[in-house]
Structure formats: C-alpha cells, structure tokens
Structure 1
C-alpha cells in the first residue's frame, strides 16, 4: 500500500509538472478605438511567444477615457495595463499612486529611451517613470505634391516664399491652407506648426530658464506672422471644424494643411491616391533653422494593484522592445518612441529627420500642470487673435498673466 501511495504521488507530481501554468488574462485599456484591429495583431505576436498569458484589448472613446480610467482606478479596479497620457495628464493618475513605477530593473529597455521621451512619462517631482513611451508627434506643414507640381511650387525656404506660394495657389483657385479654428485644439496645432521657427530655439531656451515669458518680442512676432498667414485660410475658417478641414485638404481643394504627423495615415485613408509632402515652416531668412514642434504622445502603464503583476510586466517589456516598436511603426504608420526603429514609410523617415531640428510643443509639454492650463489659454487666445478680437501683444500678455496663477517664474 505504501508503495502504491508513493507511486501515485510521484505520478501526480509528474502530471502537475507537465501541465501548463494556469492561464492569466490581462486587460489592456486604450483611447485608440481606431487602432483596435492593429493592436490585436500585436497582441497575437505577444501571445504566441508567451503561452499562458492572454491579453484583452478594450478601447474607449477618447474624450471620456481619462474619466473612465480615473474612476476605475480610484475604485480599486481598472485594467492590468493601460494607455496613459503624457506630461500633466500622466501626473493626474500617477500622483494618486495608481501606477506601478517602472525602471531599468523591471523594464530594462527603458535605459535606452531618449530622456525627453522618459520625461513625458515621469513625475516632475521625483523623476519616477510610470509608463513606456509609445510615440512622438510632430507639428508641421503637410502639402499636396500634385497641387504643388501643377502650380509650379517648390517647398518654401523663406517666409516670403511661403507667402508667394499661398498667393499662387489662391490665384489658381486653390485654397492655400485647409485649416479652420472652430475645433479649439486646432488653434494650438497651428501655433506649433507655423510659429515655431519664427519664435526660435533661443526664445524657447530663455522661456525655460525664466529669462523670458510670452510677452517676449520673439513670441509676439511669431503670432504676428501666424495672423498674417491666416488670410490664406479658407473663407469663414473661424467656423470651420477639424473634420471639415481634413476633407478640404484630402479632396485636393487645398494645397496645404498644418497638422501633426499623426495626420499622414488619416489623410491617406481618406484619399489613398493623394501624394503627400511635408516641411517645417521656414523662417524670415533661408539660413534660419527650420523648426518643428514635437511631443510624446502617451505611454503604456501597469496598474499598481494588478493581481497579475508578473504577466503585466512581461507584456510591458514586450511593448518596450524594438520588435514591438518596429511593428508599431510599420502597422500604424506612426513614429515609435522605441530607439532603433527604422521607417519603411518614406514620409515617416522625413518626419524623423525633421525631429532633429525641433523644439517641444510648448503648452502641452510644459504648461498643462496647473489651472488654467496653458493649452486652454492658448486655444482661446488664438481664436481671439485670428478673429480680430486681440492683438499679438495682448495674446502674449494674457498667456503670461493667466499662467502666473500657478507657474512661479511668471509671478512678478
């Protein structure tokens, strides 16, 4: 009998060793509903290499995502892994203790990420990183190559050449720019895409060091030029929303569109035949450094209270890998934040080159950490500027005064 019991125990032990570990299902939340099919392909690749772990991707409407996520986390639940906003949006969640700190010990690949990318997903107070950066976005000018070629226009190298190109398109019955300002956040986009070169890198450096504020003549001049070029926006552009502006450009009715690098894929979906080009808005002189505005667009974070910590970290390490970064760039036609990624898409390669001459997308990167938000202020003030209800000088003063409510360097 004793031998039988021992042999039975040994057999059960062998069987237990042979059986796979209990399956773990991770929930993965996102605001990118439009990317659901592609993320499911990414997840398939992860699951194939990690049997026993499954990932359920759930996407929510973008404008409600922050509220849904914060409510779930505050209630002690929420997803195992989640899309997290960057900059001020990250701090809102991370400061509540809802996210697992990430470092080179639990996610070794983070050691290779660019410092600016990591800063976007870190608390300013203690530099703790809480998410793996997933993409960067760049504000620039997108143009229709066929429209430019038909009208004998080359990429402008000076501000005067940009004005001349706009005049030429207008004379030919083509809208020079498709942009409108009825969708508030688009007002911030046109500042980043048009005014960055004019305000210049030296202004940005002085702003960050506390030597300048938004009343600085360099910033005021940049807004003056933005106001000048807005006469080439569509008639009634003050009431033109984002979706309509996209359609004007993708249909070929307009030659240029000021937007983010995220537009490239969207515009091709709207019109697969359109031939796109991009450029950084030029300065007053040809030798001026042409600048684009860049920011990092969120990251992948782990719930601090997840019951599946080991599996969640395995998944996040996959999301931090060059293998995933390459799939992300190829599958979503977007600029992955993962170091070492190459771009099969020619336009993405051009964006990566333009990013070598960039300044941060100022309000999003630096001034969304208090109330009133710099982005909210800027969007409102640019609407006033472009509808002749404020001067560039007044806009600069109002931005500085508004931010002085919480931004110490502006307090006098």
Structure 2
C-alpha cells in the first residue's frame, strides 16, 4: 500500500511540472569515487531528464541507516550495497525483489555471472541487481612450483606439496595464513578453505552443519598452514608484505593485490627482486579462484559481490531505468572506480557477450603509476579470476541465512574458536563441536 501512495504522490508532483528525481545511496564514498558516480548520474540525467542525488554512506553505518529510513518510510530509491545485506533486506521487506528481477531479465540473465545471481536469489526472485565483485584468490609463486614440477595448488594436497618443497623460514614460508582472531580477514580465509572442503554452514532444512568430519579435516589442514606461517597474530598485512618481499610461497588475497604485484603503488613496494616498480613478481605469480579439499573434489570459490537494490519506497519505473543505465551505458565508467576489485559480473550484452569484460581489461589500475590489467597479466589469468564469479559461493547465503553470516563476521565467532585450536587448547573434534554450539546460539 505504501508504494501505491508513493506512486500517486509522484504522479501528483509530475502534474505540477516538477522535475523527476531519484535518491541513490552508495558506500563508495571516497572523493574520487564520488566524482565518478556523480558523473554517471549527470549522464543519466542528460539522457532521461531524471535527476539523481548521490548520497555517500559509511558502510559500517549502512544497516542502521536503512533500518531507520525504512521505519520512517523514507528509503532511498536505489542502494549500492554488499551481499551481506541483500537477502536479509529482502526478507524484511526493504527491497523490491520484483523490480530487481525485472531489470535482470530485461538486461538478460545470461549476461550475468551465474554465481552472482544465485547468491542473491530469494523466493523465486533476485533480491537486487549484481554490479561487480571479486573472488578470493590463492596467490602463489608459479615459477617455483614449475621449478620442482609441482602441480598448481588447486587442492589441499598440492598446497601441502608446495610447503614440503619450499618451506625454509625465515627465508621462505610455505604459506602465510590468517591467525589473528580480531581480523575479518581470518573469517574470510577460513570460510574459503572450509567451502573448498565442502563444509556448509546450514543444510537445506536450516540446521547448522559445522560439527562434521569435513570440518575436522578442514581444521587439521588449516593447522598445517599455520605451522608453515610465521609465529604471531597474522592478517592480510603480513601475508602481503611477505609475498611482495619474496618470502612467501602461497597466500590468500583478494584481487586488490593485482596492481600492487606489478609495482604500481609506492606505499606498497615490491622488494622481491630489487626494483620496486618492476612487474617481475606479477609475471612469476599464479592465481587460482577455486580450491578443492579431500571431502569436496569439485572445489569451491569464495566471492564478495555488490548489488544495486531498488527499495519498496522507490519511484520504481525510474529506479529501474537508472539501474539499467548503470549496467549498460555507465557500466565501464562504474567499473573504472577500482578495476582491480570491481570485476564485471555482467560480462556483456546479448549482442556482444564479452563487451564489458574486454572493456574492463583495458581500464587502468594503480596509484602512482597506471597500466591496464590486460597489459600486465595474460588472458588466462583474467579468465581464471572471472570464471570464479560463475561458481562463487559463501556460507549461508544460498539457504537464506545471510543475516546469520553477518553476525558471525561481526562477533568473530569462528576465528576465536579456530585460534584456540591452533594454540592447542582444543582438539579438531572439540573445535568443530564448539563451533556448532556457538553458531546454534547465534541463530
């Protein structure tokens, strides 16, 4: 009913000749990124006559602000937001899933990465329209693996073979894994490895499923990674520093490391081969989006996807026009905000299936120096990373438990228990049982 009144109100305003307008909330609130978004909005206005107010919002305040706006009946028309919120907001009645589904189908479902759509599925619709994303990567020294004729680290066994062949601290660590339980990075890395071994957070009936043999095996593998890492509490900073220094064989990182490996950021120097501006380390690095454990030979990839949501208070017709514009005429401009981390989840158009992939690969990345990703990395690397979005997965989201995952990330429940296991306070079996109990309490 509230949408009907909003539409009637909008029509009444239109009858008085007032300009149509939309409000777009975005968490891409850095000044340079805001410039790009305001330019996209201006281009849309020039084309349609519909004004767009671009409102920056801190991501850590987004949930609270949306809840308050919903209660007041003053939601923005469009919200740019991460996967973490989208299914929960749909369940709460904040997002117009029918409008989002119409946009996806009008643009062409087959033009989107399959995984990005599946993660946003809810009651037969899509909660929001995927805009961009990234897959977490196994980053490894492919030159050293080839030197010993080792298989790429696509499986737990291959990862361990690399450690066995090259672990020689402090000159070379076989792996640098997350061990600091205060860091979200720990949850991301552990979830990635658990997914790879087939560990699910919940089953089809909504039951927590962490106290399993697959989880025990995952914990045992993770401990071997920790034993091949430096001592202390480690997170993304140490893994990146040691890899860029040539002292780590394998790490887990997001694609945001792609420009850094090529020596394009002075604040993050590559010291492995003397010249900090060289792309030598990039050339010697391999990337894998998919990892497989012994309990899940098909493997899995971990992804973070972002979406444009159309709200229940929106001027639906015009909001749909804007989201469609952003995913077509404005799409490459949108991806240019941060090409190394904004991978195109819409690959192209029905007439040109690779249009946006090809255009994205030519976008410059870097800070102090800029180069297109396609000039730094061969096509097979780009293909590997993009294909990870087709099989992208996360704990709980497909089963509709995104809100529970949000609690896990907020409270660091899993990392705290894993750390106790790594410190010898718990056995792997006890740790799996503790996880089961703790997550059931959160549910």
SS of the residue corresponding to residue 82 of structure 1 reads strand
Change (3 A) 1:335 1:380: same
Change (3 A) 1:80 1:207: closer
Please state how far the C-alpha of 1:98 moved relative to its aligned partner.
3.2
| Corresponding residue of 2:301 | 293
Counting only pairs closer than 5 Å after superposition, residues 82-97 of structure 1 correspond to structure 2 as 82-86=79-83, 89-97=85-93
- TM-score, normalised to structure 2, is 0.69
The whole-number CA distance in structure 1 between the counterparts of 2:103 and 2:156 is: 49
Change (3 A) 1:48 1:79: closer
Moved more, 390-399 or 22-31: 22-31
Structure 2 residue corresponding to 1:257, chosen from 232, 251, 261: 251
- TM-score, normalised to structure 1, is 0.73
- Structure 1 residues not aligned, in runs of 5+: 1-20, 408-412
How many residue pairs match? The answer is 374
1:176 aligned to 2:209? no
| Corresponding residue of 2:426 | 390
| Corresponding residue of 1:28 | 24
Counting only pairs closer than 5 Å after superposition, residues 13-412 of structure 1 correspond to structure 2 as 23-33=19-29, 36=33, 39-40=36-37, 43=40, 46-47=43-44, 50-86=47-83, 89-101=85-97, 102-105=99-102, 108-109=106-107, 111-112=109-110, 113=112, 116-123=115-122, 126-145=123-142, 155-156=152-153, 159-171=156-168, 173-182=171-180, 183-197=182-196, 199-200=197-198, 207-208=203-204, 213-236=209-232, 239-261=233-255, 263-264=257-258, 269=265, 270-271=268-269, 273=279, 274-275=281-282, 276-279=285-288, 280-281=290-291, 283=293, 289=297, 291-295=299-303, 297-306=305-314, 308-321=315-328, 332-333=339-340, 334-339=342-347, 340-341=353-354, 342=357, 344=361, 345=374, 346=379, 347-354=381-388, 358=391, 360-363=393-396, 366=399, 367-370=401-404, 373-375=407-409, 376-405=412-441
Instruction: Note if contact 1:86-1:121 (Cα within 8 Å) is conserved in structure 2.
Output: yes
Change (3 A) 1:58 1:244: farther
Instruction: Note if contact 1:132-1:299 (Cα within 8 Å) is conserved in structure 2.
Output: yes
The whole-number CA distance in structure 2 between the counterparts of 1:150 and 1:191 is: 29
RMSD across aligned positions (CA): 4.0
Please state how far the C-alpha of 1:211 moved relative to its aligned partner.
9.8
The whole-number CA distance in structure 2 between the counterparts of 1:49 and 1:163 is: 57
Please state how far the C-alpha of 1:81 moved relative to its aligned partner.
1.5
Change (3 A) 1:315 1:396: same
The whole-number CA distance in structure 2 between the counterparts of 1:48 and 1:148 is: 53
The whole-number CA distance in structure 1 between the counterparts of 2:298 and 2:437 is: 29
Structure having the higher Rg: 1
The whole-number CA distance in structure 1 between the counterparts of 2:101 and 2:213 is: 43
